[in-house]
Amino acid sequence: MIQFKLDNGFKLHLEKSEKVFTPTGTTEVIIEAIIENNNQKKTTLDLGCGCGVIGLSLFKNGLVKEPLFASDVSDVAIDNVKVNAKKLGCHVEAKKSNLFTEWKNKKFERIVCDISSISSDVAKFSPWFNSVDCQTGIGGDKLINEVFKTISNYAEKKCRFYFPIISLSDVSSIKSSAEKYLKNFKIVKKKNWPLPETMFSRIDFLRILKEKKKVDFKERFGLVICYTEVYEAIIA
Ligand SMILES: C[S@@+](CC[C@H](N)C(=O)[O-])C[C@H]1O[C@@H](n2cnc3c(N)ncnc32)[C@H](O)[C@@H]1O
């Protein structure tokens, strides 16, 4: 069981198995971005839902037309979402799915994609992906680029699509793929955050990846500063 909190005081208690992703600052900034920019009740798909924290936070803030749709490649995550939704009184349709594969013929008014999108080489020594799938390639762009390519098949007219770009990825590859496949998209929120100290021992490797433009960060006063940007696209 974990407690999830936003800066505005919003709190949720969630069942989260050991093998399921623990929500981070990126989770928080995605939810805040949606609350600030798209505060209407919509049919919502939480793609890469983990324990369901994003979809269920939106539900508790009155932004989800039930059922909440949620999917993840992890079976355990889907079990967690079902338990959490029941406890919070949210009708949910949750299923195991690789990207959109199990949502054929379904369309949504809002899609939030928080599928793994940091460099798989960085994920290996990060504290976030122990037993969580992160087959994203060295630039972290493999899965999200695939989502950009296919999202229009799952979007109602004027569907709002939210996704993060995390600086521990090939930011320019993700942005150019977004430019190619999404008609219009804009940044709606950004948060800087410090690299966890447990990753400092790999700083030389991170500097090499930065040289190769596979990740981005700044070094200031002994800290390594990363960022998460949240983007909104309107899918025609
Ligand atoms: C960064 S975590 C986010 C989880 C949750 N949204 C949160 O904030 O706690 C990424 C999630 O994407 C899932 N994932 C990884 N590869 C996937 C794929 N190919 N299809 C669907 N989900 C995937 C992982 O299992 C993980 O739960």
| pLDDT, tens only, 80-132 | 999 999 999 999 999 999 999 999 999 999 999 999 999 999 999 999 998 89
Q: How far apart are CA 92 and CA 82, in angstroms?
A: 7
Distance 73 CA to ligand 1 centre (A): 7
Q: Domain extents for the chain? A: 2-235
Tens of pLDDT, residue by residue over 188-222, are 999 999 999 999 999 999 999 999 999 999 999 98
Cβ pair 104, 45 in contact under 8 A: no
Read off the tokens for 145: 């680029």
pTM: 0.97
pLDDT-derived band at 176, boundaries 50, 70, 90: very high
- Distances in Å between the alpha carbon of 41 and those of 29, 120, 127, 151, 188? 19, 35, 34, 20, 19
The answer, yes or no, to whether any atom of ligand 1 lies below 6 A from the CB of 90, is: no
- DSSP label at residue 107: -
Ligand 1 atom 9: residue of nearest CA: 23
Domain covering 2-235, topology = Rossmann fold (3.40.50)
Taking the CA atoms of 74, 62, 117 and 1 in sequence, report the sign of the dihedral they define.
negative
The answer, yes or no, to whether any atom of ligand 1 lies below 6 A from the CB of 72, is: yes
Q: Which residues of 109-129 are buried (b: 16+ CB within 10 A; e: fewer)?
A: bbbbbbbbbbbbbbbeebebb
SS3 of 197, please? helix
Nearest ligand 1 atom to the CA of 23 is 9
